[in-house]
Amino acid sequence: MRKASKKAIMRELRSLAMISAGMVAGSLGGKALDKALKVDESLPGFQAKKFVRPVVQLGAGVLGAVKLKNQDLKMLSAGVGASGVVSTVKVILKKDILNGFEGAHLASAQSVFLDQGYDNYIESYEPILPVLASYSEPVETLTLDSGDDSSEYENVEII
């Protein structure tokens, strides 16, 4: 494995910072665009206004990556394009991928499962365990000194 120079590390960190900044800038610009177009997220059904944000973000990201010469600005535009991908998924699936899919999906499936009463169809499991025999003779506990002979005691447990 070869050593990385400080200059190469800083270049990679700058690229990541530019992509992150582009993602943030694209998200903020998209929110401003939605606000200007008065997009109502609570309305059900298809709304063409909802697709303006992802199209503009993706378009700006692709156009910047193709036309710009500066590598930092290309990374910035790649971040804007990435925010467009996130917006597209959010519009199509109606779920924000940055919040994750698992929790929302499992919570909704669980609520449907319990609301429809499927828990009544699940049989309870009660294992049949063997009955343990109890001692018929009581056990007596005695403390013996090291010199005592334990052979003279019956029904004694030596601990």
pLDDT band at 42 (very low <50, low <70, confident <90, very high): confident
Specify the DSSP class assigned to residue 94.
S
Are the C-beta atoms of residues 55 and 85 closer than 8 Å to each other?
Answer: no
Q: What is the CA radius of gyration of the chain?
A: 35
Predicted model pTM: 0.56
pLDDT by residue (tens digit) across 46-100?
778 888 889 999 999 999 989 999 988 999 999 999 999 988 888 887 777 666 5
In what helix (H) or strand (E) does residue 87 lie, and over which residues does it extend?
helix 71-93
- Average pLDDT estimate for 20-29: 91
